[in-house]
Structure 1
Amino acid sequence: MDIERPSNVTLFDFVGGLQLLRNSNIRTAIPVVLIGVCVCGALCNLLVLLVFIRDFRKGRGSEVKALLASLASTDLLILLLCAPVRAVTYYKQIWTLGSFVCKTTDWFQHSCIVAKTFILAATTRSKHTFMGEEEDGFQNATWIHGALVFVWLVAMLFSLPQLLFATLVPYSLDEVICVSEMPVCASEFMSLFYKIYPTAVFVVPVIFTLAYYTKTLHGAVNNAPNPRHQSKVTLVLLCLSGALGLMLLPEWGTFTWIRLGFNRPPVGLLIFADVLFYTCSSVFPVLLMTMYDDVRQGLVSFWYIATCRPRKHAPTTVCKLCVKPDGNGAEACSNEVSSNAKDKTFPDLEHFWTGRRNTHVEDEHDPVPWEKDEKMLQMAVESNQTGSRQQECA
């Protein structure tokens, strides 16, 4: 990786991914890894979003679910808009995506990083009764909308230097690279800014969130009115905060290392930080799907809908959800009914055909004709009951 710092700038760094790498194996392997992480993470985040949308449509929303849905949306933006840019850059090793993408790619990625950290910190303000069992939805959603707008405004403002200093630089006759150049006149202010920036948007929020959920988990286990449910959700948020802090630490470490003017980190560390950053956006939905009960139950419901829906061309198999009449709760069951189509009788006509099959020539000299009438009436009632049960099962 050949890079020379111009004499009139104090910072010269690649934007949008490492460029000018000579190792052909890295140029092939890293894009494949990034594309795999991007596809898996995008699918998982979409599933999580579908579960949350379903809960909100059914009136089972809560404040923490709204914030987690925003977190999944942010991860989806990172995987769909930022990761492909890195993959193309690693493969081409020069910049081919134009001036607009060069200026905005790192700015947008850093905005998403800061927004993720602040959104997780905002979950400490949300109601931690997590009305999942008695939830009527949350009444006051105004503060959530205001918090999300504030978070994204702050994130975009803090990341503005990544937009201002990004530029295209000629590398050869018909090739350019995308770099960040900080002029000498701004070096003193930006040196102070790059000491405050990582501390304010990463270190402090992550430490605060981890400390808060550790304390909340201890209180939920010992003193909460519903300790089992509340401690589970608190544990999920604690794991999300811990994963965010650990998996973004190399990214923030290398970023600060370069901006404060130290020697360039090893290329392997820079690549590892990039891959781990995008993996973080894929790990978040996996944690939600495996640890968060509401998300897991939503996925199970989607599975039943996808696999147990009656097929139009196979009427002999019927899958349904049965509810016990004694009120003990709902249980999923699969009933398989096999019948011959030509022998099938509609329930509404069951009584008619039963009566027709049982008709015979009555004896005019029968001394007790009313007994036969009673038998016919009883058979008609039984056939009606059979038809009603078949309708309910169908």
Structure 2
Amino acid sequence: MDINRPANVSFFDFIGGVQLLQGEDTRTAMPVILIGICVSGAVGNLLVLLIFIRDFRNGKGSEVKALLASLASTDLVILLLCAPVRAITYYKQSWTLGSFVCSTTDWFQHSCVVAKTLILAATTRAKHTLVPSTGSGSFSGPTWIHGALAFIWIVSMMFPLPQMLFAALVPHGRDKICVSEMPVCASDFMSLFYKIYPTATFVVPVIFTLAYYTKTLHAAVNHEPSPQHQSKVTLVLLCLSGALGLMLLPEWGTFTWIRLGYNKPPVGLIIFAQVFLYACSSLSPVVLMTMYDDVRQGLIAIWFIATCRGSKQLPNNNTTKKNKKCTKTEGNGAEVGANAVANAVSGGDTEKEKTIPDVEHFWTGRRNTQIEEEQDPVPWEREEKML
């Protein structure tokens, strides 16, 4: 990745993954590692989302679950949209995805990373009480959650704008590379900005979240020898915040190191930081599935439904067919009419409150009515009785 920095720029860095790497081992190993992280992480986050959706539909949702569902959605977006770009870049060793992706890839990834940190910080205000669900199956969360998520995403997309402004597609021999070039005239302002940006979007939220949950958990354990459900959720959120802070620290460290104009960090450290960024999105569902009781129980329920649904439906279908057959073959016309009326009374939610006439009494009366021989519509039944 040896390339000379132009004289009129204050820093020069690759966008969308390290390019111009030498060696077939890196070209093969990095895409395989990133694809493996993407597949495992995407499956885990999808399961977490399904579990939370199921909880909300069953009236077991909470503010914390709503924010954790947003966190899982953000991790899913990072794994499905950001990581494949790096895998392709490492495989091609140059840029082949066009100028639009070059301009937006780092901006979009940083927006998602900042949103993750701020969403975890917002969970400190969330309650663990259940959120009531509506009759249609959807849930009605508090208004502040929607406002907080909208504010978080607006801030997350505004802060990384320089990643988009300074991105450029530069020819390099017969190939092209995607780089970030900051002109010297903007170096003073951007130097101040790149000190505020990581501090406001990573350092302060992570420290605040860790301190809050540590204090909350310590108070709960001291006052309650056997921690309740809320203490367990606090421990889960503390572990999530700690894992996010540790695994994103290399990425933010190398990012600030390069932008502040110091010597370029080693290539191995840059690659290591990028792998840890995506591994962080794959680790979050693992923490939730192993430590969060509601998620673990939901996972067991989904597994049970997926494995036992086929065996449960078969007997029910056979029973239904037998019931239909019995309804058609047993009894005379009067009994069939009575059964039809009984089924109409018991079936259908829309007809439960309607008053149905006493038709069953009519059929019962008709059942005992004597029919003359010349008016008998089924004479063969009479012949069988005579025999």
Partner of 2:144: 143
Does the Cα contact within 8 Å between 1:224 and 1:230 map onto a contact in 2?
no
Matching of residues 251-290 of structure 1 within 5 Å? 251-290=251-290
Does the Cα contact within 8 Å between 1:213 and 1:237 map onto a contact in 2?
yes
Does the Cα contact within 8 Å between 2:118 and 2:205 map onto a contact in 1?
yes
Does the Cα contact within 8 Å between 1:310 and 1:317 map onto a contact in 2?
no
Does the Cα contact within 8 Å between 1:251 and 1:273 map onto a contact in 2?
yes
Identity %: 74
Partner of 2:301: 301
Q: CA 1:161–1:65 in structure 2 vs 1: closer, same or farther (change >3 Å)?
A: same
CA distance in 1, matches of 2:168, 2:40: 32
Please list the CA deviations of residues 187-233 of structure 1 after superposition, one character each: whole Å capped at 9, or x if unmatched.
00000101111111100100000000001111222336993211110
Please list the CA deviations of residues 163-199 of structure 1 after superposition, one character each: whole Å capped at 9, or x if unmatched.
0000000101x31100000001100000010111111
Partner of 1:322: none
Deviation at 1:257, TM superposition (A): 0.5
Deviation at 1:314, TM superposition (A): 5.7
Partner of 2:162: 161
Unmatched 5+ stretches in structure 1: 319-341, 353-394
Partner of 1:115: 115
Partner of 1:184: 184
Matching of residues 1-394 of structure 1 within 5 Å? 1-127=1-127, 130-131=128-129, 136=132, 141-172=142-173, 174-223=174-223, 227-311=227-311, 315=315
Does the Cα contact within 8 Å between 1:118 and 1:205 map onto a contact in 2?
yes
Partner of 2:347: none
Q: 2:218 corresponds to which letter in structure 1?
A: H
* Secondary structure in 2 matching 1:17: coil
* Secondary structure in 2 matching 1:2: coil
Q: How many residues align?
A: 325
CA distance in 2, matches of 1:15, 1:310: 49
Query: TM-score scaled to structure 1, two decimals?
Result: 0.77
CA distance in 2, matches of 1:139, 1:76: 24
* Secondary structure in 2 matching 1:176: strand
Query: TM-score scaled to structure 2, two decimals?
Result: 0.79
Does the Cα contact within 8 Å between 2:63 and 2:129 map onto a contact in 1?
no
Does the Cα contact within 8 Å between 2:240 and 2:284 map onto a contact in 1?
yes
CA distance in 1, matches of 2:313, 2:116: 47
Q: 1:131 corresponds to which letter in structure 2?
A: T
Please list the CA deviations of residues 103-144 of structure 1 after superposition, one character each: whole Å capped at 9, or x if unmatched.
0000000000100000000000111xx236xx6468652100
Q: 2:159 corresponds to which letter in structure 1?
A: F
CA distance in 2, matches of 1:210, 1:312: 46
CA distance in 1, matches of 2:312, 2:229: 41
Calculate the aligned-residue CA RMSD, in Å. Answer: 2.7
CA distance in 2, matches of 1:348, 1:113: 62
Please list the CA deviations of residues 240-260 of structure 1 after superposition, one character each: whole Å capped at 9, or x if unmatched.
000000000000000000001
Does the Cα contact within 8 Å between 1:103 and 1:167 map onto a contact in 2?
yes
Q: 1:171 corresponds to which letter in structure 2?
A: H
Does the Cα contact within 8 Å between 1:166 and 1:181 map onto a contact in 2?
yes
Q: 1:154 corresponds to which letter in structure 2?
A: V
Q: 2:18 corresponds to which letter in structure 1?
A: L
